[in-house]
């Protein structure tokens, strides 16, 4: 059984703050990246012990080009850059999610949906990254490791086995469930092993069909042309909609929405870094500027480049 570990970062078991998730900050290299890698390695070990013949890790966090190093993985696991919509073509038989956070609009640690401010709805459900990636893979989702508020707001994925490793204290802070890091890694390893052993009873996650896909973002008015050119229809001041026959058709509209939501941030982006020394050579005055912006985003105090839309989506999507 080939299991794909989809690795995000904000829901890692020992992650403590927003500066640990972006490669321009020393906190990312000192603690953030190693903490994520430890969780991912433990999950891989558990999956292999539970019967997976092969484990492939896909790095789905955007804070740096490579957030999980190949050398951090145990024997039997490897890193690939597969697109989530193509996993079946690569022979994937199951997915396992590590480090997952709550969707945008939820009062959870560093909650967001792909990009700051972006909200996504399919039919009557506000969706998270867990939904989008599980639907794209169209294989059984064996388990999810991450944030408590994510588990509480999973909606249609609520029956997926879930290991909570962090408890939210608002959007800007969290409390590790396991105070001793090794205890947390042992729990991750045991949970992943149990999920792999139960894989035979897991059914593929059925993606929606004949769906209305909706998006909103704080900069929706400014990004309207970009969204419309990308196939979306503007349905409100900051809201957009597109009709799709199947979730696999969401690949391009989702990419367009992510790029549109990210556009206000791009003038401030410093790029990705190969290592801590490379990051230290960046313009530190700009790094300090970015730090203040990200701190404000984590606390929802609306930095200059980011503000919440008046209404995130139709039908009370701000909840």
Q: Please check whether residue 297 is in contact with residue 18, taking contact to mean a CB–CB distance below 8 angstroms.
A: yes
Of 24, 1, 25, 28, give the one whose Cα is nearest residue 12.
28
Rounded Cα–Cα distance for residues 102 and 149 (Å): 6
CA of 61: how far to CAs of 37, 67, 74, 98, in Å?
Answer: 12, 7, 20, 11
Q: Please check whether residue 29 is in contact with residue 276, taking contact to mean a CB–CB distance below 8 angstroms.
A: yes
pLDDT for position 241: 97
Class of domain 2-201 as given by CATH:
alpha beta
Q: Dihedral of CA 256/262/266/267: which sign?
A: positive
**pLDDT tens digits for 109-158?**
999 999 989 999 999 899 999 999 999 999 999 999 999 999 999 999 99
Backbone angles phi, psi at 184, to 5 degrees: -65, -45
Check whether 309 has a pLDDT greater than 70.
no
**pLDDT tens digits for 254-289?**
999 999 999 988 888 888 999 999 999 999 999 998
**pLDDT tens digits for 19-74?**
999 999 999 999 999 999 999 999 999 999 999 999 999 998 988 889 999 999 99
Check whether 302 has a pLDDT greater than 60.
no
pLDDT for position 114: 95
Q: Please check whether residue 25 is in contact with residue 284, taking contact to mean a CB–CB distance below 8 angstroms.
A: no
H/E segment holding residue 158:
none
pLDDT-derived band at 308, boundaries 50, 70, 90: very low
Higher pLDDT, 316 or 56: 56
Q: DSSP assignment of 177-205, as one string? A: SSSSHHHHHHHHHHHHHHHHHTGGGPPBP
pLDDT for position 214: 97
All CATH 3.40.50.10780 domain ranges of the chain, comma separated, are 2-201
Q: Please check whether residue 67 is in contact with residue 9, taking contact to mean a CB–CB distance below 8 angstroms.
A: yes
Check whether 99 has a pLDDT greater than 70.
yes
- Neighbouring C-beta atoms of residue 315, cutoff 10 Å: 10
Check whether 293 has a pLDDT greater than 90.
no
CA 290 to centroid of chain Cα atoms = 21
Rounded Cα–Cα distance for residues 120 and 250 (Å): 11
Mean pLDDT over the full length of the chain: 91
Rounded Cα–Cα distance for residues 97 and 29 (Å): 22
| Axis crossing angle, helix 181-197 with helix 33-49, rounded to the nearest 10 | 40
């Amino acid at each position: 059984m080939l299991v794909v570990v989809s690795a995000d970062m904000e829901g890692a078991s020992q992650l403590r703050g927003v500066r640990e998730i972006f490669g321009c900050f020393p906190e990312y290299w000192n603690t953030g990246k190693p903490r994520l890698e430890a969780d991912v390695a433990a999950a891989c070990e558990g999956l292999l012990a539970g019967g997976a013949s092969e484990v492939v890790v896909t790095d789905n966090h955007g804070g740096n080009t490579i957030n999980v190093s190949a050398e951090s993985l145990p024997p039997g696991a490897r890193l690939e850059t597969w697109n989530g919509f193509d996993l079946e073509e690569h022979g994937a038989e199951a997915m396992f999610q590590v480090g997952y956070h709550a969707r945008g609009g939820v009062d959870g640690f560093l909650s967001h949906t792909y990009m700051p401010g972006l909200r996504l709805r399919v039919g009557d459900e506000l969706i998270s990254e867990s939904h989008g990636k599980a639907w794209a893979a169209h294989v059984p989702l064996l388990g999810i490791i991450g944030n408590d508020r994510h588990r509480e707001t999973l909606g249609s994925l609520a029956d997926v086995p879930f290991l909570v490793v962090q408890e939210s204290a608002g959007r800007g802070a969290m409390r590790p469930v396991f105070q001793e890091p090794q205890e947390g890694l042992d729990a991750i390893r045991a949970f992943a092993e149990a999920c792999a052993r139960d894989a035979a009873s897991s059914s593929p996650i059925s993606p929606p069909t004949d769906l209305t896909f909706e998006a909103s973002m704080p900069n929706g008015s400014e990004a309207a042309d970009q969204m419309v050119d990308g196939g979306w229809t503007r349905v409100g001041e900051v809201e957009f909609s597109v009709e799709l026959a199947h979730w696999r058709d969401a690949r391009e509209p989702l990419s367009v929405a992510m790029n549109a939501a990210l556009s206000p941030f791009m003038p401030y982006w410093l790029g990705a870094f190969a290592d801590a020394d490379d990051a230290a050579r960046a313009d530190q005055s700009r790094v300090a500027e970015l730090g203040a912006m990200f701190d404000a985003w984590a606390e929802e105090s609306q930095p200059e480049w980011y503000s919440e839309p008046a209404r995130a989506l139709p039908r009370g999507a701000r909840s």
